[in-house]
Chains A and B, each alone.
Chain A
Amino acid sequence: MTGYSVVGKGLPRIDGPEKVTGKAIFTVDVDLPGMLYGKILRSPHPHAKILNINTEAAERLPGVKAVLTGHDVADVRYAFVDTPRYPADEQPLAVDKVRYIGDEVAVVAAVSEAIAEEALSLIKVEYEILPAVFTPEEAIRPDAPLLHESQFTGTSAWEEWGAAKRVKDYRSESSLNNLSGRTFVAFGDVEQGFREADHVREDKFQTAATAHCAMEPHGAVASYEPVTGKLHLWLSTMGIFLKRYNLSRALKLPISRVRVRHSYVGGAFGGKIDVFPYEFCAAYLSMKLGRPVKIELDREEVFTTTRQRHPITIHIKTGVKKDGTIVAQDVKVIADNGGYRGSGPIVVFLCHGFSFPVYKVPNYRYEGLAVYTNNPIRGPQRGHGAPQIRYAIDSQLDLIARDLGLDPVAVLLKNIRHKGDVLPNGDRLNSCGLQECIEGTAAGINWSSKRWQFAAAQPLGRFRRGVGISLCAMFSGAMYYPFASAAMVKLHDDGSATLYTGTQEMGQGSYTTLAQVLAEELGIGLEDVRVVAGDTELTPVDLGSFLSGGALVTGNAVKLAAADARRQLLECAAEILGVGMEQLATRGKKVFVREDPQRSISFAQAIQASVFKRNGNPIIGTGSYKGYPETNRYPSLAKGKGLFTSAYGFAAQAAEVEVDTVTGRVRLLNAVTYHDCGFPLNKTIVEGQVQGCVSMGAGQALSEEIVLEKGQLFNPSFLTYRLPLAPDTPESLDKTANTLEPNGPFGAKEVGEGSVAGMLGAVANAVHDAIGVRINSLPITPEKVLRALEQKQKAVR
């Protein structure tokens, strides 16, 4: 569409050949001489005091090299959220008590995995069972047992980064028990808004805890060199620099003594960004023993202890005019974040952050509570709050449209934001393709002919079809310190280039798309670019591949680095050709004089000349970028103030389902997504991201659910946690709206997360369209469908 030769095309991934031949090394594949194996003993109780731990028998087992308990590392605290307001509440091994089933109690290092497993069975722990709470509603009551009674000690990471120290404990601001985070935002006058509304509706929606299901289990290999004092780590992670920072701090090692080394990550979806006890333990054991230590979690541990999506209850009250224009909205969410804070305060902030960019709501009030319970810990998962809040808001909007006899598509179009809008926090929508996305999606799903809402009568067969639509918004990286990225481009004598980036390839295709950005900016081919990444020692900083900042934040850093290299290249060429830089142009890896194209030199010649003439300097370009350049208005989790992101990705998604009214089974037949990603840097990769999101969203809408009873996870396996299989694949149409985000490299912004979120509401609304009845909780299982149909029949009688 534009004159680009590398970006925008669906070029094959550069990591493809390694991955299809089995040569790609993942953390679990790392094998070092003399390596020991670690295993973790976990709490079988949801809430208990540890009275005594006897490790003697385990220590005596031949082959066991060390056994650690909480007392060995009692002064260590860390967490994904570690701010003055919300200081770290996690410890690598439980010291005084355990707070969920799976909480880490002890770790063993042994010469084999089998011996380590056996040693665990020899550790005797005496517990005193404490009363436990399993729902946030119970947990906030005045008589509920407290999970974290004491003050959190130590200096938070943010204070170390320069944030002001807070003296008051946030818990003193509220009378609610077990609060782990709260966000409150209001603008306009919501009560007045409801008075002005023609129609007001209140609904309650409930989402389920879900699992990330990255196929690679979490693992860490740590290798400490006692002589040099250097710790080498291979981690299954989304952010090597964030991990390095947190682990060096926890291990009390200078940052320069910790190196996270390259290995591929077998999927993450948000589940590999928190610091985990197994990572700390592997490192600590290696430091203690002077030998490499590997800890690989088994699938049940991954399901139980490496975070889940927050189950959230969402109350919404919305007031609209007769024509569907929203005049007021009051949203209350309560999220269960489990035994530790995880990302609780973030998810309740993001439920606001992904709610308010989509519709113009003049009068708005939002309150989000994150609450401790004795359930497994919840953390970021693809979309992080967006699936929950988008499902609830767009389900309700569908209901409102029905109440008023309006077409939901028209209601969406009436309320959406547009390019140029400034959000209440000050974020400006420099690109916004919501309208184009809605129109494309509605056409793609054949909305007007398939929506039953307006048909006089639906045929009464066993199989009923229906369509639904929902929207989503997502940040492209966020404005919190130090969400920044730097990149380096080194040119070579043959005219090729190496990109040095701190990003981590976990399936999202970052190595390929960033190499494309470099190639385009510099004027070379993708085959001329090699990527060195995922290594804290070799690459400049990149905080991590989360909050969908990869394309925009890291992409801009790479583009700037490539531009810097190109400038130096032209400087050198200008010198050789004896003209001013401004007279030069490039094509086909050649620099030529614009007015006299015969006068040219190749990139290779220019680079060689630089080496000769500039004391061996081969041309190294650098660039750096942060989430929201040129500002210091960092977002506040508690008040929703400050700037959040410099570009919102948007999407509209529609689903066509077929409901078997006899067995209750819902099949997703068609899924249509129009994702406003600004500009697809790699068409194939963008489609792949959207298709992965659609599948995950469909699974979480219809079958995926972490089943807990009294804090115990009943389905910690791929047999019983039902994520989609190949036969569940719908017909899909995956398109992009190319709105060319001015802040993005070549116009690119978020694409990897948002499209999970719209699927939930689209499917729920489609089911309603098909069977004429609403199911207010996810997933929409056959049993729920049949129950809803039964109730509907009763109501008719």
Chain B
Amino acid sequence: MKRIITLVVNGEQREVAVEPDLTLLEVLREDLGLTGTKKACNQGECGACTVLLDGKPVSSCLVLAVRAHGKAVVTVEGLAENGRLHPLQEAFVTYGAVQCGFCTPGVLLVAKALLDTNPHPTAQEIEQAIAGNICRCTGYVKIIEAITAVAQNQNI
């Protein structure tokens, strides 16, 4: 049986009628058209589907959409504001932290959550924060560099 849930997605209130067996990932991609959130393993093992749920990074493929009712969801589409890239987005482009781009949305959100709570993380803290996000293209080197640059407020 469908039920109506209310989500605050990227600052905007959205109502969706969902079956209980839908994941938040499926609702974001299929009902709300927010395809920036990626499905890569669908089992919570890769981080590509990461969104911020009430500020915390979670694998949206393991969240029942009905359980996100009343919560704030931030997806990659919500990072840039007023046509301006978020500093992390800017740094990811500048430092070459993006290659194929499929893991990028998830990594960006994890990085945002990290810097929101810990503005000046060590390299090790960065590695640990993104330890649930798999990237096959970059070997993580430039991702770590980009996050470090933002944390150190370097000119990017």
Q: Which residues of A contact B (CB under 8 A)?
A: 10, 12-13, 15-26, 28-29, 31, 212-217, 264-269, 298-299, 506-509, 684-685, 687-688, 691-696, 717-719, 723-727, 729, 732
Contact = CB atoms under 8 A, between A and B. Distances in A.
| Secondary structure class of chain B's binding surface, majority of residues | loop
Nearest to B128: A727
19 contacts: A10-B96, A15-B101, A20-B79, A20-B101, A21-B76, A21-B79, A22-B34, A215-B40, A215-B100, A215-B103, A217-B39, A217-B40, A688-B99, A692-B139, A695-B139, A725-B132, A725-B134, A726-B130, A726-B144
A726 B101 contact: no
Given A267-B137, A298-B42, A723-B134, 20 more contacts: A15-B98, A20-B89, A21-B76, A21-B79, A22-B37, A22-B77, A24-B101, A29-B29, A215-B46, A215-B134, A215-B136, A266-B40, A267-B136, A268-B100, A299-B41, A688-B99, A695-B140, A719-B45, A723-B136, A727-B127
A577 B44 CA distance: 65
Contacts of B45: 717-719
Contacts of A723: 134, 136
Contact of A299 (B30, B35, B40, B95): B40
B140 A726 contact: yes
B104 A20 contact: yes
A672 B119 CA distance: 31
Contacts of B136: 212-215, 267, 269, 692, 695-696, 723
B38 A215 contact: yes
Contacts of B98: 13, 15-16, 19-20
A696 to B, nearest CB: 7
B71 interface: no
B31 to A, nearest CB: 11
B39 A28 contact: yes
B135 interface: yes
Nearest to B43: A717
Contact of B101 (A19, A692, A729): A19
Interface in B81-97: 85, 89, 92-96
Nearest to A684: B96
Contacts of A719: 43, 45
Which of A24, A266, A508, A717 has the most chain B CB within a 10 Å cutoff? Answer: A266
B80 A21 contact: yes
Contacts of B105: 20, 22
A29 B138 contact: no
Nearest to A30: B35
Given A23-B36, A216-B100, A267-B100, A507 B85 contact: no
Contact of B77 (A10, A21, A508, A729): A21
Contacts of B38: 26, 28, 215-216, 266
Nearest to B34: A22
B93 A20 contact: yes
Contacts of B143: 726
B133 interface: yes
B136 to A, nearest CB: 5
B141 A691 contact: yes
B108 interface: yes
Contacts of B9: none
A9 to B, nearest CB: 12
A26 B104 CA distance: 13
Nearest to A298: B42
A768 to B, nearest CB: 24
Nearest to A16: B93
Interface string B14-32: 0000000000000001100
A19 B137 contact: no
Contacts of A732: 139, 141
B135 A688 contact: no
B142 interface: yes
B75 interface: yes
B48 interface: yes
B48 to A, nearest CB: 6
Contacts of B75: 22
A22 B36 contact: yes
B41 A22 contact: no
Nearest to B124: A727
A266 B34 contact: no
Given A16-B92, A215-B40, A267-B136, A508 B130 contact: no
Given A25-B35, A717-B45, A729 B140 contact: yes
B96 A506 contact: no
Nearest to B77: A22
B96 A215 contact: no
Contacts of B40: 215-217, 266, 299
B85 A12 contact: no
A548 to B, nearest CB: 16
A621 B93 CA distance: 30
B48 A215 contact: yes
Nearest to A269: B136
A84 to B, nearest CB: 36
Contact of A726 (B37, B76, B92, B133): B133
A718 B134 contact: yes
B138 A692 contact: yes
A187 B133 CA distance: 49
B33 to A, nearest CB: 8
A16 B99 CA distance: 8
B131 interface: yes
Nearest to B130: A726
A17 B77 CA distance: 12
A17 B105 CA distance: 12
Given A20-B85, A726-B130, A718 B41 contact: yes
A24 B105 CA distance: 11
Contact of B100 (A10, A214, A298, A693): A214
A696 B136 CA distance: 7
B137 to A, nearest CB: 5
B147 to A, nearest CB: 10
Given A726-B144, A729-B127, A507 B137 contact: yes
Contacts of A216: 38, 40, 100, 102
A21 B89 contact: yes
Contacts of B128: 726-727
Nearest to B110: A726
A34 to B, nearest CB: 15
A436 B110 CA distance: 40
Nearest to A22: B36
Q: Give the 4 A-B CB pairs with smallest separation, nearest first.
A: A22-B36, A507-B100, A695-B139, A266-B102
Contacts of B95: 684
A15 B137 CA distance: 15
A116 to B, nearest CB: 14
Which of B37, B76, B103, B135 has the most chain A CB within a 10 Å cutoff? Answer: B135
Contacts of A268: 100
A726 B93 contact: no
B94 A724 contact: no
B145 to A, nearest CB: 10
A386 B89 CA distance: 36
A19 B143 CA distance: 14
A265 B38 CA distance: 13
Contacts of A12: 93-94, 96
Nearest to A211: B136
B86 to A, nearest CB: 8
A296 to B, nearest CB: 8
A729 B130 CA distance: 12
Nearest to B33: A31
Contact of B36 (A10, A21, A724): A21
B101 A685 contact: no
Given A217-B40, A299-B40, A692-B139, A17 B85 contact: yes
A214 B43 CA distance: 16
B29 to A, nearest CB: 8
A312 to B, nearest CB: 22
A215 B135 contact: yes
Contacts of A25: 35
A494 B92 CA distance: 30
A691 B94 CA distance: 16
